[in-house]
Structure 1
């Protein structure tokens, strides 16, 4: 491997594989990459010496590499305390693993607020594949890395871009990606890499993290883990013996091994600097100091013994996180220090200076910083700022200048504000907030300071750091704010309250903020009142008079013609005057609202559409919301859009598609740390009719609702139980659940529940209850003119009405539901009609309806209703054969979803964007689908699925 050179965290090889390798490396330097690995065609050397006491871990890493070479992707988190040997194991992986390409990155504490700094390290060697990505992903990644201007990229699109970049690189040879010190990775890099880790499948990519434990980062939870514990006693004693300055009593040795718990770094470092006499008492006597702190103290003692110039050199290298030797040389020249000052630190094994600066361990870096006084730190930061190119690296220069400032400095604060703008333009919201917070600290003018704090609060909210926003808002209010800024404070406070708890607890602060906004910003007041009413709707029965209180207060704000204002007007009328008064206002609001002008209101639109019984709007608006969220990469909007779309697909009888969307929403929620409420999953489980799993989900939803003060979810749970028991033919249980749920006027859910109540009561012989529920339903259907409403009412009239026109009502219900796209409702109408016909001894007519219902339910996967229809069909004398579900039994859920999207005409990249998979993984799934179905091309896919 000629030309191989040791670098800070990896290897750089001038192989022939990258014709533009010099351009790529230049790009790496432009975006601030500390380390990169570009390997040529020669496999990595496998003759690496074994690590002491790490056979189990090495075997696990060897298995990982074998799987990747076989075409699979693997993810692993090496987790252990500082000094446990994680980095050594990662070195083993990168140097001993027989694979073709390795890229490596490491988090650095000083860089944890620089957006995408860790991701840039990892991706820079792979930028030669950037042009292979779809344009939106290519643009997002280029903008995130500062390679080209553009709109701030959404995390979802950036994540898909990184996934695609890895897959393209691995299409030539397997790829191993190593990320060390994740606990110091910047937030955006951590989120995106975790998202990618959860979506890798068949790309021949290994993504291996090194993370300290205990660690604050929770985003890696759920990924496969390998715990790196202390060395076994025998190996620990052998390692300790190798550094002891002389003979030590065996009991003392045992105590040292026990006290360090076999931590390799502690065993190597703690004995340094102690005499044999001091070691005889076990590192100078018992200590309650944590092990990591004691190791760092050991490094501090060794640093303190160095010459003054060496300590300054070490501090400068520690403060400068890039490991850039030319930059370090320029800084030392300004400080009047020569490179010969590095010799004592290198001799002490604390630092290596080659093509990059490399510390023995991150604790050496932190020990050097903590050993320095404030004045020394400011001098070093000032010097580094002076030698940093303001054109090539303005953000790091501004960061150094900020740390060098002793007091307020508007010039530096303005530079930091510009850095925040650049970070925000790249989608680095957390980084922008950090720049703005430091800028505010250095701002001498109180009004400017308050404005910058407010901007930081907005950035923290956008980054999802909700807990940090209230303190920033309180700080902003200490300075003079103009009315518009005060309105911004109130709006943001209200948004935080609603985001943290959409139930009863959110309503008081929302109302208070809305009242203050009425004069400052009427449009903002309407949005906030809408959120307050939304919170009251969520609280439902648990909110007492909250809904009326919010609606009464909202009437005082001037009306607005924007979607939020129109929805507010409709919800106010619904709350105070009832359903009939609200219908025309809801209709107007839904007509004005589109996916791109009210993305934050999608959840309300998805609920309100039920109040106007508009089946077309229900299906189209939910589809538009998902499309908008996908196209824009709106990560915060997509989970709720997917769940509301899944609800529409349940009514359409497309259970498999609904399940796919719910799986997608759950995966996305796990990747972002904010899983959606399982309400729609509960509804789907109820319609599928598997009693045990459905009740388990239902009970969990009830617990969540009660804990969060979300009465609306209790209504969903009651409705779902009624559906489940109606499908199973357990009508008394369905009646009990529906009666409880129908006691409250819950938005949208009440009308669903009333239909179930009529059916359960009619079958249970509670005819008076059925008639009362029918009349309550009629009050809601007679004020609208849609097929959905007419069909629902006709079915209720058939079940609870007078004996004479029953058959006309059933026929009317079937005709109206046929005009909708609600296949589920149509099948249920046929089932009820068939049951009535059988009771009328019209067995031939009953068979036609029951056969159609049974077939529809079976295809949907509505097992409870299918069995109920099968029992009725058997009672007519027809033999009911158990239908095999064919493709749904043979294909996995993922394969079935890929197949359906392929039939719909989606390309592999488009399917990948929908399912958060790389195109290569999509291709792999399609090959398995073709094999299982016995076909060889996409042209045959539609007919094969239909035949099965």
Structure 2
């Protein structure tokens, strides 16, 4: 009895019943009969105020139910809505899953199973989502619900592998949905476009061109176009007619997304495609705005299925802005999530950061990524690895290797986004390798990609590439234009490289004094950013002018690991140990252990000192 247990010090009876040890509580629950458990849960439900804690009450009622119970299932749906509103996608999925079990009406069971599968997908629980879809299919769904099952299967395939199986599934789902629900059909074409973008030529069906053509002919809603409709117009035009025709449409779509007063759930799912659109039109400001917004919203919602892409993009942006610390923090969070959910995404962010840093020890990872991404059907991963390899080798002044990598990235796997970036590396490598014909062809691709976009980023890169293949005063004007335009952007690495190329050109023109000014600027900027290979290249050029310059030593103001930097940054920003642990899938005790190591390494004694002790970072980049 309870009195005997209290006498034996196994539990304490008061306003609350407390057990001496959690294992005692677990043992009591496990040894109880099913009927005893139901009686206890029912008693707890009756004792729980439906106004103060409706969700706990609903859960106890559900656990007490002996069979289908429609009123309780409806209460669980309401609990799921509340959980989702406060960012608890996993909790919402659990409530909905339980509501499916308690559904006696077959129609309600199908509807709830679809909702539970979608919540499970967004929470990163892919196997559970597939089980719920099987249950929905077994419950005789109607035509629209069956099409929704097909859509969710395609979305799960993309979120879990980002490989070649997703594009045809999503394309077929879009074609089924376009006549049943035109708006959902158009949204599904966007899903299919994104999946085809990742798979590239590895998709057995549902290529980017095929998806774009189908989307162009999809019926439209009678309502005013949503931002997602505008983006589909732009991306499908890009896939069928090219960048010049698509640029105005993508600018209109970006403006709609950027200036939304309250983005809401409807457009929440398009965050990563919006950032791709921004990059396609070289819109740095739009990229920053939407990347920060959607990463913040993804974290708040606990959307583990999409956070790997959002974090990859944020690390990408931070790297290109020269904030390697912010990039490393995002990468640590990304790795924690992919480990927890089992999702597979190529190490895009890790490779880019290593290339910008000039880390030759990243070459095995680059080679394995090319191999693994090819095996898993992510052409985007193959092209990305070749592109970052070209960046790395250009920094190391190994132009023959840079030339080969850039050619493969720009020519053999010509995805719409990365081919122009690879072409900028190809222009530089070809000029330094005395391959003017290759440089000329690459420049044509750069111009066709940048001219329609008319931004400082696009025109600055174009001017820098033009300068490399131009002589005399015209070359100098182009270098100065590149520096002026890129100086108005956040993209410090691109600006520093423009100073480097200008200085190299001046030295070859025997203008040593002018060359030293540009090369010193490049050397200082590249060193401060952490682009060690490019900084060493600038140093060697300075030495060639007769200047005296000391060899840089990499600063090691601390020896924090990437995870320690991430935990320290979150603690500095005011998060508690449990909050940090929830974000990084760590126990509060593990967080405490990491913080102890941080304090020891930084020689500080409290969280209050973190703001001053942590290495500097461009805080304006970090999403609040």
TM-score normalised according to structure 2 size? 0.83
Report the counterpart of residue 725 of structure 1 in structure 2. 393
Within 1, Cα distance between the matches of 2:469 and 2:314? Answer: 32
Report the counterpart of residue 369 of structure 2 in structure 1. 701
Task: Give per-residue Cα distances to partners, 1:881-903, cap 9 Å, x unaligned.
Answer: 1334445455555665677779x
Within 2, Cα distance between the matches of 1:628 and 1:937? Answer: 29
Task: Give per-residue Cα distances to partners, 1:361-413, cap 9 Å, x unaligned.
Answer: xxxxxxxxxxxxxxxxxxxxxxx97x88656566455445435xxxxx6xx35
Deviating more after overlay: 389-398 vs 493-502? 389-398
Match for residue 713 of structure 1 among 358, 381, 388: 381
| Counterpart contact for 1:533–1:550, Cα < 8 Å | yes
Cα gap change, 1:760/1:10 in structure 2, threshold over 3 Å: closer, same or farther?
farther
Within 2, Cα distance between the matches of 1:944 and 1:709? Answer: 39
| Counterpart contact for 1:503–1:708, Cα < 8 Å | yes
Within 2, Cα distance between the matches of 1:630 and 1:612? Answer: 27
Structure 1 position 921, deviation (Å)? 7.2
Q: Which runs of 5+ in 2 are unaligned?
A: 49-56, 619-624
Cα gap change, 1:911/1:822 in structure 2, threshold over 3 Å: closer, same or farther?
farther
Is the counterpart of residue 834 in structure 1 residue 500 in structure 2?
Answer: no
Report the counterpart of residue 215 of structure 2 in structure 1. 554
Report the counterpart of residue 622 of structure 2 in structure 1. none
Cα gap change, 1:825/1:461 in structure 2, threshold over 3 Å: closer, same or farther?
closer
| Counterpart contact for 2:162–2:195, Cα < 8 Å | yes
Report the counterpart of residue 318 of structure 1 in structure 2. 33
Within 2, Cα distance between the matches of 1:666 and 1:105? Answer: 36
Is the counterpart of residue 589 in structure 1 residue 589 in structure 2?
Answer: no
| Counterpart contact for 1:466–1:500, Cα < 8 Å | yes
Report the counterpart of residue 570 of structure 1 in structure 2. 234
Cα gap change, 1:497/1:893 in structure 2, threshold over 3 Å: closer, same or farther?
closer
Cα gap change, 1:834/1:109 in structure 2, threshold over 3 Å: closer, same or farther?
farther
| Counterpart contact for 1:587–1:612, Cα < 8 Å | yes
Matches within 5 A, 1:666-677: 666-674=335-343, 676-677=345-346
Is the counterpart of residue 931 in structure 1 residue 592 in structure 2?
Answer: no
Report the counterpart of residue 875 of structure 1 in structure 2. 544
Report the counterpart of residue 441 of structure 2 in structure 1. 772
Within 2, Cα distance between the matches of 1:687 and 1:788? Answer: 18
- Aligned to 1:769, the other structure's residue is in SS state helix
Structure 1 position 431, deviation (Å)? 3.4
Matches within 5 A, 1:612-691: 612-674=281-343, 676-691=345-360
Q: Rg larger in 1 or in 2? A: 1
Cα gap change, 1:562/1:6 in structure 2, threshold over 3 Å: closer, same or farther?
same
Match for residue 200 of structure 2 among 540, 556, 564: 540
Query: Aligned pair count?
Result: 588
Is the counterpart of residue 798 in structure 1 residue 467 in structure 2?
Answer: yes
Within 2, Cα distance between the matches of 1:762 and 1:650? Answer: 26
Report the counterpart of residue 499 of structure 1 in structure 2. 159
Report the counterpart of residue 180 of structure 2 in structure 1. 520
Structure 1 position 438, deviation (Å)? 2.8
Report the counterpart of residue 36 of structure 1 in structure 2. 19
Within 1, Cα distance between the matches of 2:98 and 2:599? Answer: 49
Within 1, Cα distance between the matches of 2:28 and 2:217? Answer: 51
Within 2, Cα distance between the matches of 1:463 and 1:940? Answer: 36
- Aligned to 1:805, the other structure's residue is in SS state helix
| Superposed CA RMSD | 3.9
- Aligned to 2:394, the other structure's residue is in SS state helix
Cα gap change, 1:709/1:110 in structure 2, threshold over 3 Å: closer, same or farther?
farther
Within 1, Cα distance between the matches of 2:616 and 2:210? Answer: 58
Structure 1 position 580, deviation (Å)? 0.7
- Aligned to 2:33, the other structure's residue is in SS state helix
TM-score normalised according to structure 1 size? 0.56
Within 1, Cα distance between the matches of 2:449 and 2:495? Answer: 20
Task: Give per-residue Cα distances to partners, 1:775-808, cap 9 Å, x unaligned.
Answer: 2211122212211111101111111134451111
Structure 1 position 522, deviation (Å)? 0.9
Matches within 5 A, 1:20-419: 22-23=14-15, 25=16, 36-37=19-20, 317-319=32-34, 390=46, 392=48, 395-396=59-60, 398-402=62-66, 412-419=69-76
Q: Which runs of 5+ in 1 are unaligned?
A: 15-21, 27-34, 38-101, 112-313, 329-383, 404-408
Within 2, Cα distance between the matches of 1:721 and 1:734? Answer: 7
Which structure has greater helix proportion? 2
Structure 1 position 848, deviation (Å)? 1.2
Task: Give per-residue Cα distances to partners, 1:429-464, cap 9 Å, x unaligned.
Answer: 453354244334xx2x54444444444544544554
Is the counterpart of residue 432 in structure 1 residue 415 in structure 2?
Answer: no
